[in-house]
Chain A
Amino acid sequence: MLDLSFGNNILIYGVIVSAISFLVTLIATPKMIRSLIAQGSVVQDYHKPGKPDVPRPAGPVLLGGIAAAEIVLYFLTLDMTIMAIMLTTVIAFIVGFIDDRKVLPGWFKPAALITAAIPLIIFGAHGTNLNLIFGNAFIPLLYVPLIVVIIPIVGNTINSIDVLNGVVTRFVIITTMPLLVSIAIFGDNEVFLAALPLLFGTIALYQYHKFPSKVFVGDSGTLVMGSMYGAVAIAGNSEIIGVIALLPAVMNSFLFLASVKKIVEHRQVKVRPTVMRSDFKLAASKEKNAPITLVRLILAEGPLSEKEIGYYISNLAVFSSLLALISIFIQYYFLSGGI
């Protein structure tokens, strides 16, 4: 539970780290966009008339905003958990950045992301009890393998929802809210403060990623968001709450894997789950062997524009976040000895 007593500076530190992550990302992104265009680091946006070039990736600038805030927070608090969260995020960024530069096999990201879990284990950022809504389980030995599994899964889950303009950033903004509430109740001041840059850095990036995107976040950006989400959920005793908030993305990953039946890079899938119509609306593919995704299911009832699909995915994120809030309420009731 947050300690709001006078003198522990949580409000001041909160404002400082939020402002740093927000302003650094907001100010640096236009410079990054110009730099990426100058380097020719652009990809086509296939869902727009004329397929305009869009610079990619914005991961470095998001990491810059988050890391600047985390470094300041570390020197303010000298808490090693903050360092563990930051190192996990940095390693995930490196994995994503390699994937941005080179199309690698589907197994690369999950396998390489295991290394991102190491700082959390080495610095002991995790607890020994896993909160399971109706109580907590004392699992000092099982917690380590669990961390090794959580970081790659959450990283790839967030990565899989990066489907259209603005979707992944808005999804992370919405689903981070219940996570912050959970960390405030079941975590501590330092982890709550360390999680704020994820929200505020992503809000700043969203200004450039929203429809129509001026920049794409790329794998480096999605893995920064995903791994940091997983890291703060672990350090803040909010693993299950995080999973519930991410349910639409979990569902998307599950449907994709269950239909493709192997871990494969989405760029390597031959049959697309959606088709572009001449009016630039997207429709669900009728191909039997096309992957099943969240977007394809949303389009099953008729074609939609890119902007409309983003709106529907956000509604699903709001819904899962509400379920996460209900779960927080249930968990608080049981953990505080309500029965």
Chain B
Amino acid sequence: MRLTGLLGFITVMWVMILAITAFLINFVAPIDFVLFRNGLDRLIISLMQASIAIIIIMILVWGLNKMKKIYMQKKLQL
């Protein structure tokens, strides 16, 4: 099957998105209540949440880059 590898790649990307959204919902969204008991300014909380989300997305991109390199070596011998 010509598309097997690509379908696998897309599936892994999807699973990574689900994992990130689960992390954001369970750990990042309630950060103001869990860590600071609603004691911090809304703007500061938002900046912290944004920073964590950006770091997570950077980790996702890094992970995808690693995956891409392995996939390329296998498919295109690059």
Contact = CB atoms under 8 A, between A and B. Distances in A.
Given A139-B46, A255-B68, A132 B21 contact: yes
A248 B10 contact: yes
Interface residues of A, number: 39
B25 A141 contact: no
A316 B7 contact: yes
A323 interface: yes
A292 B68 contact: yes
A134 B75 contact: no
B42 A250 contact: no
A312 interface: yes
A107 to B, nearest CB: 19
A312 B2 contact: yes
A294 B9 CA distance: 11
A243 to B, nearest CB: 7
A251 B13 contact: yes
Contacts of B5: 297
B59 interface: no
Contact of A133 (B22, B29, B61, B65): B22
Contacts of A238: none
Contact of B10 (A138, A298, A316): A316
A142 B68 CA distance: 30
Given A251-B10, A300-B76, 5 more contacts: A132-B29, A141-B42, A254-B64, A298-B3, A316-B7
30 contacts: A132-B25, A133-B18, A133-B21, A133-B25, A134-B18, A135-B29, A137-B25, A138-B29, A139-B49, A141-B46, A142-B46, A142-B49, A142-B50, A240-B21, A247-B10, A247-B14, A248-B10, A251-B9, A254-B68, A258-B64, A292-B72, A296-B76, A297-B5, A297-B71, A297-B76, A298-B3, A298-B6, A316-B10, A319-B7, A327-B14
Interface of A: 132-139, 141-142, 145, 240, 243-244, 247-248, 250-251, 254-255, 258, 284, 288, 292, 294, 296-298, 300-302, 312, 315-316, 319-320, 323, 327, 330
Interface of B: 2-3, 5-7, 9-11, 13-14, 17-18, 21-22, 24-26, 28-29, 42-43, 46, 49-50, 53, 61, 64-65, 68, 71-72, 75-76, 78
Closest 9 pairs (CB-CB, A-B)? A132-B21, A135-B25, A300-B75, A141-B46, A137-B29, A133-B21, A134-B25, A323-B14, A247-B10
